[in-house]
Structure 1
Amino acid sequence: MKKLATKKFRVKLFNKLMSIASALQNIPAQITPPPFRLMQIGSLFWQSRALYVATKLELADVLGDTEKSTQEIATVLQLHEDHLYRLMRMLGSMGIFDETAPRVFKNSKTSAFLRQDNPKNVRAMILMHNSPEMTKPWMESLEESIRDGGVPFAKVYGVDVFGYMDQHKNFDLLFSQAMDTVENLTGNLFLEDFNWGQFDHIIDVGGSKGSKALSILKSHPNLKAIVFDRPQIIEAAKTHWQGKIAADILARIDFQGGNMFESLPAASDNALFVFAAIFHCLSDEECTAVLSNLKTVIGNTQSSVLIADAVAEEIHINPTIAAFDMQMLIGTTGRERTPSEWKQLLENSGFEIVEIMDVRTFAKFIIAKPFQSGLHA
């Protein structure tokens, strides 16, 4: 197999900068007296709820490129002016919105990413993570779940997050919109860190509307792709890109709906199955079921597997990864896995890890292939 990693210097520089940023972020925790630090952490939900309400009220959209008084905003949205002012003042103190004069605000560099006319906005992600559906399990059933090992979301709603989405179209839509904004958080530079051109076909499992696959196809004219996701997602994806993406690129992508626990698209001889942020939502048993289907469709082909997911440190875990892990605990039976946990999971399913690559995002690329018959006990 040819080398899969590209842009190695840029990846090393990215990781170095992320390490520096993490160290700087930890400075307040190190110099703040412990009682005050605990109080800060204990009241962080005040900030998240204020941001959620401002996002839901579309304050950034009303401001647009102008400055407006809270009286003007309150009149447009039929809000209580003084309460609005106090909300925006708090958010302004956090760098969200900029108070240019008493009770007059404009968008800041941060709040600009709440505007719906900003193609890089993360509005849906804020609304999804702070929605009643997602916050209620944190508030009502986390303690009980820590005691008995259950899934907080399922305790509240009777099903896990994905079962709930199947039953509630509005939340399903919000979740899909939030997932579509992930690249606004991470960017797509990490796609340049991998040698996609070594393969003839990529099969993006759980690929939503296919934005990641299309980005790859733009840079690799000889590559074809299959985007595989839940049928309701795929139906929307089939028409989403018409008129937005060149016809010759769309001609190289196929959208297929299905259930990865039942079957996966067939593999060509030199295909790459891509699972981006999929396995961390699943229990080991669920991962094994998917990997069993994957091993079947790969068969005797030379196909490979790319798992783009977080790799948690064995000790002293990165705070961001730890937070993602807790979100998995809240809504799913999944987890963020350590290198040893990934190794055990894949080996138990008949796969070996070829390489764990650093790329320019918080996740890593885990490259795996099925064990060749007779070479693994």
Structure 2
Amino acid sequence: MVSTIQQLSQLIAKSVTDLVDITSKNGFQLPELDDKLTPASEAFRQDANAAKAANVIAAAAIQLIACVLPPQESVIQITSGHMKSAALRVSIQCHVAEILRDAGPEGMHVDKIASKTGVDGTKLARLLRSLANRHIFREVKPDYFTNNRISGALDTGKSIDEILRNPNKKHDETSGFLAIAELNLTTCHKASSYLYENMKDPVTAFSEESTQAPVQRALRTEKNLFNWMSEPEHASELHTFGMAMKGSAALIPNNLLLDLFDWNSLPKGSTVVDVGGGIGSSCEILYRAHPELRYVVQDLPATVEDGRKHWALENAKALASGHITFQGHDFFTPQPPNNASVFLIKSVIHNWSDQNASKILTHLRNVAQPDTVLLLCDIVMTYSCREPIPESTEEYTIVNDPSLIAPDLLSTGFNSVNDVVWLLDAAVLLLVSTQERTIAQFKHLLSGCGWKIVKITRKGSSLDSIQAVPI
């Protein structure tokens, strides 16, 4: 009988061969770990089959490691996670990746790195060494470090002099990815230290209030996170949070929203209402592809005013013609009549408890027409066990991206190589006492507000969609 580790080894070998063949035929270059991070180094992932082969290799390798490591070592790796993340925070806030950008393959002595940001070189070396042990940075010879492809993701592209002149603007004019890392390593990290206490305290154990999350214990405040960040003395935290949200949006492919619904099915002139739509970023994507539709962006008055200014600069014609309009509205209050063909509500519901989310969804249901579609774009949370991936149920259709179908041998499917959904689920628990929801939880929530699920589309990213119609 072939053992599990033999099967995993064979699966890895086959997938490596597949990946090399696919990339070779399509003219892609497979990057080395010690290469610089560039758009070209990751271009092979544009091919769906190459991306899936890479996921198979990674998922099988993670499972193989779990099979052969001593159980105690696996536990120690998890329990020491806070130390590794602390080391990573130091490297980011000491701007090590930017300092090493031009160090070259010979690297730079740690004392020279440390002198640029005023920290102790001996301590910094120990932290960089622990990261290099996990292939973030590379120690080329004793106490000499250089970047590799992974640490390249920590580089903002700015000069160290520019960053030191204005450290609070480090994330400005970047993708926002590093702000995500900083948020995880600061606010989320602090809140995670109080998760157990929050779950045991009778006052907060079963609470879904955003003022009774672990982050309140960490920050010593009774205010919810957003009110706390709005205080003048926490302006830098608010700025980082905003850039992190920009970074989260940038991780989602622009065309994904177009694939989550059949926009061509809407008659010309149909109205799409983007609920909690910010400055209209989602509607920008939709308008470019479907200018024949009309878009209403709803958010709080100050936000929609920013939206009007943004569109006046970027697409004044659409604003002047009325193809895009902005409406100041608090979604916890009754919806104004708007003749909506589609209510788009993207990356909003996961910020709110069932009680509060029900208020939003009920207000939408109260003004919906019989043929109005609720398009809820959020994570559809999975389980850590292998799930059957049905194409339909008696009640609704499920459309799954082929890339989600993992070999049977992988005990958790591709979950182990897609930590983003687990991270977001933990983040909303720590920061606002909510959750990313499973299909069953969405079904319960929506049916209680007068909506019936008709279609679920899962794309294997941090954005899926649920289509619902009035009951």
Does TM, scored on the shorter chain, surpass 0.5? yes
| Unmatched 5+ stretches in structure 1 | 1-9, 372-377
Would you say how many aligned residue pairs link Structure 1 and Structure 2? 358
Which letter maps to 1:207? G
Select between 213-222 and 231-240 the one with higher mean Cα deviation.
231-240
**For residues 1-377 of structure 1, what are the structure 2 equivalents within 5 Å?**
21-67=58-104, 68-117=108-157, 119-131=174-186, 133-148=187-202, 149=205, 150=207, 151-155=213-217, 156-167=220-231, 168-194=234-260, 195-199=262-266, 200-240=270-310, 245=314, 247-248=316-317, 252-264=323-335, 266-270=337-341, 272-298=342-368, 300=369, 302-313=371-382, 316=385, 318=415, 320=419, 321-371=421-471
Mark the CA change 1:61 to 1:222 in structure 2 (over 3 Å): closer, same or farther: farther
What secondary structure is seen at the aligned counterpart in 2 of 1:308? strand
Q: What are the superposed Cα offsets for residues 216-273 of structure 1, whole Å, 9 maximum, x if unpaired? A: 3222232343333344544444445675x45546664444444221245653342x22
Quick one: distance in 2 between partners of 1:13 and 1:370?
A: 41
- 1:160 Cα deviation after fit: 3.1
What secondary structure is seen at the aligned counterpart in 2 of 1:45? helix
- 1:50 Cα deviation after fit: 1.6
- 1:285 Cα deviation after fit: 0.8
- 1:74 Cα deviation after fit: 2.6
Percent identical among aligned pairs is 27
Quick one: distance in 1 between partners of 2:306 and 2:113?
A: 35
| Unmatched 5+ stretches in structure 2 | 1-46, 158-172, 208-212, 387-414
What secondary structure is seen at the aligned counterpart in 2 of 1:181? helix
Q: What are the superposed Cα offsets for residues 113-142 of structure 1, whole Å, 9 maximum, x if unpaired? A: 3233484451111111222x3333321353
Contact 1:260 1:290 in 2 (8 A): yes
What secondary structure is seen at the aligned counterpart in 2 of 1:26? helix
What secondary structure is seen at the aligned counterpart in 2 of 1:159? coil
What secondary structure is seen at the aligned counterpart in 2 of 1:186? coil
Mark the CA change 1:349 to 1:111 in structure 2 (over 3 Å): closer, same or farther: same
Quick one: distance in 2 between partners of 1:13 and 1:365?
A: 25
TM-score by length of 2: 0.66
What secondary structure is seen at the aligned counterpart in 1 of 2:193? helix
Quick one: distance in 1 between partners of 2:304 and 2:349?
A: 20
Mark the CA change 1:160 to 1:361 in structure 2 (over 3 Å): closer, same or farther: same
- 1:356 Cα deviation after fit: 0.7
Quick one: distance in 2 between partners of 1:210 and 1:18?
A: 33
Select between 44-53 and 115-124 the one with higher mean Cα deviation.
115-124
- 1:175 Cα deviation after fit: 1.7
Q: What are the superposed Cα offsets for residues 26-74 of structure 1, whole Å, 9 maximum, x if unpaired? A: 3323332211111111011112122222222222233335444433333
Mark the CA change 1:247 to 1:99 in structure 2 (over 3 Å): closer, same or farther: farther
Contact 2:179 2:243 in 1 (8 A): yes
- 1:347 Cα deviation after fit: 0.7
What secondary structure is seen at the aligned counterpart in 2 of 1:130? helix
Quick one: distance in 2 between partners of 1:346 and 1:104?
A: 56
What secondary structure is seen at the aligned counterpart in 2 of 1:261? coil
Quick one: distance in 2 between partners of 1:24 and 1:207?
A: 40
Contact 1:203 1:274 in 2 (8 A): yes
What secondary structure is seen at the aligned counterpart in 1 of 2:356? helix
Mark the CA change 1:120 to 1:301 in structure 2 (over 3 Å): closer, same or farther: same
Q: What are the superposed Cα offsets for residues 257-311 of structure 1, whole Å, 9 maximum, x if unpaired? A: 44221245653342x222222212211111111111112332x363311112222
Paired position in structure 2 for 1:6: none
Contact 2:380 2:458 in 1 (8 A): no
Contact 2:296 2:325 in 1 (8 A): yes
Which letter maps to 2:184? H
Contact 1:279 1:334 in 2 (8 A): no
Mark the CA change 1:135 to 1:266 in structure 2 (over 3 Å): closer, same or farther: farther
Which letter maps to 1:153? V
Quick one: distance in 1 between partners of 2:141 and 2:176?
A: 26
Q: What are the superposed Cα offsets for residues 148-177 of structure 1, whole Å, 9 maximum, x if unpaired? A: 314322444213333434445443332221
What secondary structure is seen at the aligned counterpart in 2 of 1:366? strand
Query: Considering only aligned residues, what root-mean-square deviation do their CA atoms show, in Å?
Result: 3.3
- 1:340 Cα deviation after fit: 1.8
